[in-house]
């Protein structure tokens, strides 16, 4: 009888140990993955999950009390410039950056040509007959762009990842994308060998530059049922002695941008969103306002920041020039801890030359023009930018 009791106790101990081992294994698996990973995708680390979707937005816009500016009627106020095509075709030795509108920049240095979040379409939308439409024409036709070596993608929202633009670019460039976006590109006909996936803080050296995906505070979705399934990211690009940080789309927190500034203490230029922030109760977690953009500039310690994500598509409620006006007011009030924060005209090119222990020398190349899309002519002009 005593032997049976001992045997029973031994069996209970073995079962308890087995259960605890299984539980510990589950915990170890969860603890071994990065904090921003989940069972189904990814999450932000410093805010609650973003749960405001398109239906909430439409209800607010069309049936709520929030005032929405008519940016289409204000589009003539957006400064535009005719690019210097000779400069784009034959850049000089200094880094140069041309703003093509929204979050799309052409970055050129030492023979390398890079596009960020290219959207060359008439609309930032799943379909070509509805959704936010282009308010300002592309300053350069697609076929007049220099050969593109790299395309940097911050996330999969339609105003940052445009299927028509990827179709046009094809397999010529290498695509740098956040985790779990590779399959989307393969589905669009891109050679898997031309797609490089990155998690936050992944870094890779390649011809002409070293690229690192960094954290941002945003989310992802291209449909109603795929929220948070693919990662979002900002990017640091090191092209020889030139250091650039592209923020993509982001809200603000007081941790992650300071970490970026601590890792790279010599960022020459930061490309930071300043628009699509209103109303704040809806947008604050996912889109910075101009004052928060200045805080990001200070956190990353950039010598020069350029405001983006404004003046091209109406995504939110604020007047079209308000982002620039508020940014200028923040800069003039002394919010900058160092460096400078500017905006460009759409189509304008900036040459950058660093100076030891001094503010960099910047040269802006812009032949100012009038926006011909305001007043209802957007559709024909936008399609015309694609050429034959």
Q: Is residue 1 part of a domain?
A: no
- Alpha-carbon gap, residue 18 to 71, rounded angstroms: 64
Q: Is 282 left (phi over 0), alpha (psi -120 to 50) or beta?
A: alpha
Q: How confident is the model at residue 363 (pLDDT cuts 50, 70, 90)?
A: confident
Q: Specify the pTM.
A: 0.88
Say how many domains are in the chain: 1
> What's the Cα-to-Cα distance from 382 to each of 102, 141, 243, rounded to whole Å?
14, 10, 33
User: Residue 317 maps to which CATH number?
Assistant: 3.60.15.10
The pLDDT tens digits for 86-138 are 999 999 899 999 999 999 999 999 999 999 999 999 999 999 899 999 999 99
Q: Is residue 31 part of a domain?
A: no
Q: Is residue 230 part of a domain?
A: yes
* Residues recorded for the chain: 388
* Domain limits for position 354: 56-384
Query: Residue 63: what pLDDT?
Result: 73
The pLDDT tens digits for 36-49 are 999 999 999 999 98
Q: How confident is the model at residue 357 (pLDDT cuts 50, 70, 90)?
A: low
Q: Is residue 16 part of a domain?
A: no
Task: Report the range of poorest mean pLDDT among 5-19, 79-93, 111-125, 345-359.
Answer: 5-19
Calculate the CA dihedral of residues 342, 202, 229, 275 and round it to 10 degrees.
Answer: 0
196 exposure class (CB count in 10 Å sphere: 0-12, 13-18, 19+): middle
Q: Is residue 149 part of a domain?
A: yes
Q: How confident is the model at residue 360 (pLDDT cuts 50, 70, 90)?
A: confident
- Alpha-carbon gap, residue 44 to 54, rounded angstroms: 20
Q: Is residue 200 part of a domain?
A: yes
Q: Is residue 9 part of a domain?
A: no
Query: Residue 373: what pLDDT?
Result: 55
Q: Is residue 4 part of a domain?
A: no
The backbone torsions φ and ψ at residue 173, rounded to the nearest 5 degrees and listed phi first, read: -85, 170
Q: Is 111 left (phi over 0), alpha (psi -120 to 50) or beta?
A: left
């Amino acid at each position: 009888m005593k032997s049976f009791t001992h045997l029973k106790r031994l069996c209970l101990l073995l079962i308890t140990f087995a259960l605890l081992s299984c539980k510990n294994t589950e915990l170890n698996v969860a603890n071994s993955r990065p904090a921003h990973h989940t069972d189904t995708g990814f999450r932000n680390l410093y805010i609650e999950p973003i749960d405001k979707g398109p239906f909430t937005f439409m209800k607010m816009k069309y049936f709520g009390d929030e005032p929405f500016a008519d940016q289409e009627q204000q589009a003539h106020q957006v400064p535009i410039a005719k690019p210097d095509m000779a400069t784009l075709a034959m850049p000089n030795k200094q880094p140069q950056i041309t703003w093509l509108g929204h979050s799309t920049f052409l970055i050129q240095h030492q023979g390398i040509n890079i596009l960020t979040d290219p959207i060359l379409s008439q609309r930032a939308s799943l379909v070509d007959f509805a959704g936010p439409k282009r308010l300002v024409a592309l300053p350069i036709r697609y076929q007049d762009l220099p050969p593109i070596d790299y395309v940097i993608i911050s996330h999969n929202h339609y105003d940052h990842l445009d299927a028509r633009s990827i179709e046009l670019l094809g397999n010529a460039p290498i695509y740098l994308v956040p985790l779990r976006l590779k399959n989307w590109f393969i589905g669009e006909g891109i050679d898997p060998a031309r797609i490089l996936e990155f998690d936050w803080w992944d870094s890779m050296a390649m011809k002409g530059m070293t690229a690192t995906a960094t954290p941002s505070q945003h989310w992802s979705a291209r449909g109603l049922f795929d929220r948070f399934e693919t990662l979002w990211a900002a990017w640091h690009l090191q092209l020889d002695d030139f250091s650039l940080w592209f923020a993509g789309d982001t809200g603000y927190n007081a941790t992650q941008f300071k970490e970026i500034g601590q890792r790279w203490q010599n960022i020459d230029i930061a490309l930071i969103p300043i628009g699509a922030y209103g109303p704040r109760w809806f947008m604050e977690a996912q889109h910075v306002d101009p004052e928060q953009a200045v805080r990001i500039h200070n956190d990353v310690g950039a010598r020069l920041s350029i405001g983006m994500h404004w003046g091209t598509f109406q995504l939110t409620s604020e007047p079209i020039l308000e982002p620039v006006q508020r940014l200028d007011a923040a800069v003039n009030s002394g919010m900058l801890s160092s460096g400078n924060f500017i905006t460009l005209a759409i189509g304008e090119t900036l040459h950058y030359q660093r100076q030891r222990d001094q503010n960099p020398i910047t040269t802006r190349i812009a032949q100012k023009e009038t926006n011909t899309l305001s007043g209802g002519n957007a559709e024909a002009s936008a399609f015309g930018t694609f050429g034959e």
